[in-house]
Amino acid sequence: MYRTVLWATDGSVVADGALAEALKLLDPDGELIAFHCDERFAGGRLGGGTVFVDELDRLAKIQAQVDQLRAGGTEVRLIVEKTHQSAAAEIAASAEANHADVIVCGTRGFGVVAGAVAGSVAMRLPHLATRPVVVVSEAAAASAAELIR
C-alpha cells in the first residue's frame, strides 16, 4: 500500500480502469492525487487551444469522479495542468512535486511503432519518472472499470 498515489487520467475508459487499480494500491489513510493534463497547441492559429475538442467534457467527468470519491470517504486532490509540453513529463514532474509514492496510468496497448507515432504517455512515463510507475493495460483496465461502475 502507498500513502500517496498519483492517478494520471485523461478521462478515458482506460483511465477509469487505472483508477480502480490506484484505489487498490492506496493506503486507507492515504491521499489520491487525480492528475489531468489539459494539453494545448503551441503557436500558430490554434495556439493556446485545447488538443482535444471534448476537453470540457473530460474535465467534467474527472471532476465528477473526484466528487464521488470524496463522497465515499477517499482523500483526493484534483490537479489540472494546462500545458504545451509532454503529458508524460508533466505527470512525472507533478509526482515529484507532490511527493507521490507511485504513479498509476493506463495504456491503450499500442505497439512500439504505433505508440511512438501516437505518442504513448505510458511508454515514456517510466523513463521520465523518479517514482515507480504502474501501467494498467487496456484489457485489465476494462475489467477493473466494470468493478467501479
Q: Indicate the domain borders of the chain.
A: 2-148
Q: Tell me the CATH architecture of domain 2-148.
A: 3-Layer(aba) Sandwich (3.40)
What are residue 146's phi and psi, to 5 degrees? -60, -35
Query: How remote is the C-alpha of 104 from its chain's centroid?
Result: 7
pLDDT above 90 (res 39): no
pLDDT in tens, 110-123: 444 333 433 589 99
Nearest residue to 5 via CA among 74, 63, 108: 74
- Predicted local distance difference test score (pLDDT) of residue 112: 43
- Predicted local distance difference test score (pLDDT) of residue 111: 45
Instruction: State the residue for C-alpha cell 487551444.
Output: 49
Q: How far apart are CA 40 and CA 55, in angstroms?
A: 10
Which three cell numbers, joined as nine digits, stand for 92?
A: 512525472
pLDDT in tens, 70-79: 999 999 999 9
- pTM for this one? 0.84
| Lowest-confidence region among 7-21, 48-62, 105-119 | 105-119
Beta carbons of 105 and 8 less than 8 angstroms apart:
yes
